Amino acid sequence: MSSVLEKVKFDPEGFLVDPMTWTREIGEAIAKREGMQLNARHWVVINFAREYFTQNGESPTPRNITKNTDVTTKELYELFPGGPAKLAAKLAGLHKPTGCI
């Protein structure tokens, strides 16, 4: 498990440096490192985050996720406790969301 993570680079906060190096296995391994067990609902969010990144070049906000998937905000917070946008981006190998100014 640790071997897939050794092949890629992370920033000090644990976000993948190059989103293009991400694979599903890496996603699973990051989840383990965060103490999470991924189910199908997590993957709905992670897959959407990847797709959103491909189209927009940035990580999605919670609103982007709930407007474009069948995941509700309540469920989103249950799936990714703490900060869903941050955690989902981390698992999807994306950069830390810039938030807003």
Partner 1 sequence: MKTFLILGAGTAGTLMAHTMTKKLDPHDWQVIVVDRDEKHYYQAGYIFIPFGMYKPESVIKDKKSFLPKKVKVIWSDIHMIEPDKNQVTLVRDKQVIHYDELVVATGVDIRPDQTEGMLGGGWQKNIFDFYTFDGSVKLAQALKDFKGGNLVINVTEMPVKCPVAPLEFVFLADWYLRKRGLRAKTELIYSTPLPDAFTKPSANAKLSDMFRKRDIHLEAEYAIGSVDAARNMISSYDGREIAYDLLVTVPTNMGIEAIERSGIGDDLNYIQVDKGTLQSRRWPNVWAVGDTNNILASKAGSVAHFQHEVVAKNILDHIAGKSLEEQFDGHSLCFIESGYGKAVLIDFNYDQEPVEGTYPLPGLGPFRLLNETYLNHWGKLVFKEMYWAMMYGIKVPLPSKMSTAGKKISSHNRQGEAA
Distance CA 65, CA 59 (A): 10
Among positions 22, 64, 89, 93, the unique one binding partner 1 when judged by CB under 8 A: 64
Can you tell me the distance from the alpha carbon of 90 to that of 77, in angstroms, rounded to the nearest whole number? 15
Minimal distance, residue 58 CB to partner 1, in Å? 7
Only one of the segments 1-9, 21-29, 40-48, 65-73 lies at the binding site for partner 1 (rule: CB under 8 A); that segment is 65-73
Which residue, 32 or 83, has its beta carbon nearer to partner 1?
83
Using an 8 Å Cβ cutoff, are 64 and 51 in contact? no
